Amino acid sequence: MFYIGVDLGTSAVKLLLMDSDGKIVNIVSKEYPLYFPHPGWSEQKPEDWYKQTVIGIKELIRDVDKSQVAGISFGGQMHGLVILDENDQVIRPAILWNDGRTTEETEYLNTVIGKEKLSEYTANIAFAGFTVPKILWVKNKEPENFARIAKIMLPKDYIAYKLTGVHCTDVSDASGMLLFDVKNRKWSREMCDICGISVDQLAKCYESYETVGTVLPQVAEELGVSASVKVAAGAGDNAAAAVGTGTVGDNMCNISLGTSGTIFISSKNFGVDKYNALHSFAHADGSYHLMGCMLSAASCNKWWMDDIIGTKDYVGEQQSIEKLGENHVYFLPYLMGERSPHNNPNARAVFLGMSMDTTRADMTQAVLEGVAFALRDSLEVAKSLGIELTRTKICGGGAKSPLWKKIIANVLNLKVDVIESEEGPAMGGAMLAAVACGEYDSVEEIAAKVVKVVETVEPDADLVAKYEERYGQFKEIYPACKPLF
């Protein structure tokens, strides 16, 4: 049988076809526009997502026996606000995870409602990227649209709805809304009251590997598949990527170097750090995870390469970098503000330490190191909870750089395991579909069979010591710059 994983990203939808043994049969990617109607705003049209997903699925399964397609599931960009009216029509463009318009609403939630109450209700505090501040923004700034809301959804769940006619979400993605009681895996009525909405306006919540329905007859006909194809709830992109990299079960770690960057730690036990610096979310395997999320990761390097020095030769630019741990240039990677652990949408990127002998390579190196140092900030919070890690998986576009993997291994002092397939959320989505269809009994079972480590980048004791000193300096920069932001 075949299983389709749909990774609904910020710039494109990536579709992956996997067979019963976990072998990747085909991959297709389809782009769609990103809109910035005002400085700091970030929006997309849900209709574009679905249109490109359908086009992509047709291309994905064009050359296989379509009767063998058994299931579809998802990994998707988290936190985005999709609102539908009573006729299930999109009311306004989706407000995305990296949108920065909700400073006032976030401040209201954290100070007036209070971080303690938010943490009690949801295990998390308010971040500008979360969904609840966006709901309050619509309520405050677009009351006519707020009054029309019949359903509140997340990005990938809109695709699931269009495929099945079912309003659904999953526990991992719901955890990032600030509407979900993570510990008890259910909607928080207290948070609904704060938002002025009802539980009925929210989708039914499933475990990530549970079937929400089958494809609608008209959708099956358009795609050329059976109407018995099951659709599983799927997961937020980071939880789906964790499934795709085998970061399931207890005390496992994955680092994702995509547009945003995350450090993801799976746990059988529910836990919250005292400052809520890390997100405490439900995991796609049925348990929990802690996650530190930085808003700009590989996108920092893309910005530096494409927009500043004007080159697409990413490999060539990194070849001249040799003296790791000795760079005197630092880079704060806060191009879009920052989430973990600072929770400051006003934070901005900074280069520090340049002199007359600073080279282009030094600046490039500083960008790569700055992202690694920022990931280390979140790792330090996890350590404060007594979590001890010795290794991590890695995925995302940035993981294709051998140099960046080496920097991360030594800055974080972790063995970095490179897996055979670095397809992240799309692979995780396909694996969740296989579990939903009964091909495997559990997420852990399919991860153990499918995910294979092909290389391990080991930290070097001398480099670790050098980076320890550099990190000590790096972590002083943000507090010094914070008043300027």
Model confidence over 195-232: pLDDT tens digits? 999 999 999 999 999 999 999 999 999 999 999 999 99
pLDDT, mean of residues 52-70: 98
| pLDDT value of residue 401 | 96
pLDDT in tens, 348-388: 999 999 999 999 999 999 999 999 999 999 999 999 888 88
* Average pLDDT of span 118-133: 95
* pLDDT of 274 strictly over 80: yes
What average pLDDT does the structure give for the chain?
A: 96
Residue 129: is its pLDDT beyond 80? Answer: yes
pLDDT for the residue numbered 380: 95
Least Cα distance to 180 among 250, 119, 233 occurs for 119
What's the confidence (pLDDT) of residue 395?
A: 86
CA neighbor of 17 nearest in space, from 54, 91, 76, 71? 71
Read off the pLDDT band of 345 (50, 70, 90).
confident
| Structure confidence at residue 365 (pLDDT) | 98
Residues with a catalytic annotation lie at 237
Mean pLDDT of 313-334: 96
Average pLDDT over residues 260-274: 91
Distances, alpha carbon 227 to alpha carbons 5, 51, 57, 218, 366, in Å:
18, 19, 15, 9, 52
Least confident range from 192-201, 334-343, 441-450: namely: 334-343
| CA 191 from centroid of its chain's CA atoms | 23
Question: Has residue 424 got a pLDDT over 90?
Answer: no
Domains recognised in the chain with CATH numbers:
2-238 (3.30.420.40), 249-421+452-485 (3.30.420.40)
Q: Is the pLDDT of residue 422 over 80?
A: no
Residue 61 has pLDDT above 90, yes or no: yes
pTM of the predicted structure, to 2 decimals: 0.88
**252 annotated as belonging to a binding site for a ligand:** no
- Mean pLDDT along residues 5-26: 97
Overall average pLDDT of the 111-134 stretch: 96
Place 259 in a pLDDT band, splitting at 50, 70 and 90: confident
Residue 78 annotated in ligand binding: yes
* Residues 429-444 pLDDT 10s: 999 999 999 999 999 9
Question: Band of the pLDDT at 423, cuts 50, 70, 90?
Answer: confident
- Range 78-107 average pLDDT: 96
